[in-house]
Amino acid sequence: MAQRQLDNLGVSAFCESMGMMVRAGIQTDEAVALLGEHHTTGGVLETAIEGMKEKLEMGSTLSAAMRETGIFPEYALQMIAAGETSGRMEDVLFRLSRYYADQKTISEKLKSAVTYPAAMLILIIAVLAVMLTMVLPAFSDVYENLTGSLQASTYGYIRWAYAFCWIALVAMVLMAVLLLGGLFLWNNGKKKTVEGWLRHVPICRQILDNMGMFRFTSALGMFLASGEMQDIAVIDSIAMTDCAPVEEKLKRCVARMEEGHSISQAAYDEQLFEPVYGRMLLAGERSGNMESVLERLTGLLEENAAHLVDRLVGIVDPLLSGVLMITVGLSLLSVMLPLIGMMNAVG
C-alpha cells in the first residue's frame, strides 16, 4: 500500500489533530475514525486513514498502522512508537506537530532563497540577450549610416560593449546551469554531493550546520519527552541531523558521555553550541528543566536558520542586481561615447 509520502504540513496537521483528540481522552482508533469522517476528498491522507482504521480495529498500535500506509516519515513513526511505550503520546504528538511545522517554514525559506536568484538570473540573461541581438547592432547601424563606416576608435568602443555583454552573459548562463544542475541532483538523491559543494561557501556552511543542530535539538527533546534515557536519546538523535560535520561533533560528545559526562557538559566542552546556548543547556540540566531548555534552543536555532537564509538572499540580490546594472551601464556608455564625440565635433 506504499504511496508518496505526506508533506511536512500534512504530517504536522495530522499530529496536531491526533494530539487534540488524545488530550480530550479519545482512544486512537476512535480519533482516526473521526479524522476520516472529516476528510472526503480522496487524497493521500484520506486514503491512508481508511487503511489505518482497519489496522487499529484489528488491534494494531497507531505507529504500526501509520507505518503500513507508507506515507509518514520514519522519524514520526519512531517518535510515536516511543510515545506509545512511555505513555506520553499526547506530548509527543504536539511536539511532532511543531517540529514538522518548523520544517515547513524552513523549507519555504530555502525555496525562496533559490527561487529569487533563479528569477534574477533569467531576467539578467534576457536583458543581456536583448543588448547583444538588438541594442548594440542598432547602435552599430546608426554609426555606419552617419559615418559611412565605423572608425577604428568607434569600432573599439563597440567591441568593448560587446565584450562586456558577452562576458556577463556567459557568467550568468554558467550560474544558471550550476543552479539547475544542483537542483536536479538534490531532487534525485544526490543531496550530499550538493551540500559538499555548498560547504565551500561560508554562509551556506553556517546554514547547513545550523539546520543540523536544529534537527538534533528537536529530536533530542522529543526522545526525552517520550521517556527515553538521556544517553540513548542522544545516540538516536544523531541519525536525525542529516549533517556529517554535526554528526562528528555529536559522536565526540557521545564518547565524553561514555566517560561519565552529561550531554550538557559534553556539548559545552566540544563547543557543540555557541557559548551562550551551551550555558543555557548546562543551566537547564542542573535545574531539571532540560526538556524546556531544548525546546527553547530549538526555537532559537530555527530563528537563526531563517535569519541566515534571509541574509543569503540579501547578499545575492544586490550582487546580481549590481552585475546587471554595471554590465548594461558600461555597455551603454561604450556605445554612447562615439556619439558624444560626434556631437562635440559638430558643435
- Do 271 and 217 fall into the same domain? yes
Task: Give the residue, 140 or 10, on which the prediction is more confident.
Answer: 10
- Do 43 and 138 fall into the same domain? no
- Do 33 and 182 fall into the same domain? no
Share of the chain above pLDDT 90, in %: 0
- Do 47 and 133 fall into the same domain? no
- Do 237 and 293 fall into the same domain? yes
Determine, yes or no, domain membership for 174.
yes
Indicate whether 70 pLDDT > 80. Answer: yes
Domain CATH code at residue 175: 1.20.81.30
Determine, yes or no, domain membership for 192.
yes
Determine, yes or no, domain membership for 1.
no
Task: Give the residue, 160 or 100, on which the prediction is more confident.
Answer: 100
Indicate whether 277 pLDDT > 50. Answer: yes
Indicate whether 132 pLDDT > 70. Answer: yes
- Return the pLDDT at 156: 62
- Return the pLDDT at 155: 58
- Return the pLDDT at 42: 56
- Do 67 and 106 fall into the same domain? no
For residues 112 and 182, what is the distance between their CA atoms, to the nearest angstrom?
15
Determine, yes or no, domain membership for 264.
yes
> What are the C-alpha distances in Å from 35 to residues 18, 143, 336?
8, 74, 69
Share of the chain above pLDDT 70, in %: 88
Determine, yes or no, domain membership for 271.
yes
211 neighbors 305 (Cβ within 8 angstroms): yes
- Return the pLDDT at 218: 81
- Do 20 and 111 fall into the same domain? no
- Return the pLDDT at 154: 53
- Do 256 and 325 fall into the same domain? yes
Cell of 201: 561557501
For residue 337, what pLDDT band results from cuts at 50, 70 and 90? low
- Do 130 and 242 fall into the same domain? yes
Give 203's contacts (C-beta < 8 A, 6+ positions apart).
Answer: 308, 311, 312, 315
342 neighbors 146 (Cβ within 8 angstroms): yes
Average pLDDT over residues 250-260: 87
| Ramachandran bin of 145, using left for φ above 0, alpha for ψ from -120 to 50, beta for the remaining angles | alpha
Q: Which domain holds residue 25?
A: 8-72
- Do 46 and 181 fall into the same domain? no
Angle at the Cα of 107 from the Cα atoms of 105 and 110, rounded to 5 degrees: 115
Determine, yes or no, domain membership for 42.
yes
- Return the pLDDT at 339: 64
Determine, yes or no, domain membership for 37.
yes
- Do 228 and 318 fall into the same domain? yes
Average pLDDT over residues 19-45: 78
Instruction: Give the residue from 75, 178, 62 showing the smallest Cα distance to 117.
Output: 178
3-class SS string, the chain: CCCCCCCHHHHHHHHHHHHHHHHCCCCHHHHHHHHHHCCCCCCHHHHHHHHHHHHHHCCCCHHHHHHHHCCCCHHHHHHHHHHHHHCCHHHHHHHHHHHHHHHHHHHHHHHHHHHHHHHHHHHHHHHHHHHHHHHHHHHHHHHHHHHCCCCHHHHHHHHHHHHHHHHHHHHHHHHHHHHHHHHHHHHCCCHHHHHHHHCCCHHHHHHHHHHHHHHHHHHHHHHHHCCCCHHHHHHHHHCCCCCHHHHHHHHHHHHHHHCCCCHHHHHHHCCCCCHHHHHHHHHHHHHCCHHHHHHHHHHHHHHHHHHHHHHHHHHHHHHHHHHHHHHHHHHHHHHHHHHHHHHHHHC
Q: Which of 52, 72, 92 is the last residue of a domain?
A: 72
Average pLDDT across the chain, whole number: 80
Claim: this prediction has a pTM higher than 0.75:
no
Give 44's contacts (C-beta < 8 A, 6+ positions apart).
Answer: 3, 4, 6, 10, 71
- Return the pLDDT at 1: 41
Q: What digits encode the pLDDT tens for the residues 80-99?
A: 887 887 778 888 888 888 88
179 neighbors 118 (Cβ within 8 angstroms): yes
Q: Which of 72, 91, 114 is the last residue of a domain?
A: 72
- Do 111 and 44 fall into the same domain? no
Q: Which of 72, 87, 110 is the last residue of a domain?
A: 72
Q: What digits encode the pLDDT tens for the residues 283-317?
A: 888 888 887 888 888 888 888 888 888 888 778 77
Q: What digits encode the pLDDT tens for the residues 133-180?
A: 887 787 777 766 665 555 555 556 677 777 888 888 888 888 888 888
Report how many domains make up the chain. 2
- Return the pLDDT at 203: 84
Determine, yes or no, domain membership for 206.
yes
For residue 2, what pLDDT band results from cuts at 50, 70 and 90? very low
For residues 76 and 93, what is the distance between their CA atoms, to the nearest angstrom?
9
Least confident of 113-117, 153-157, 217-221, 286-290: 153-157
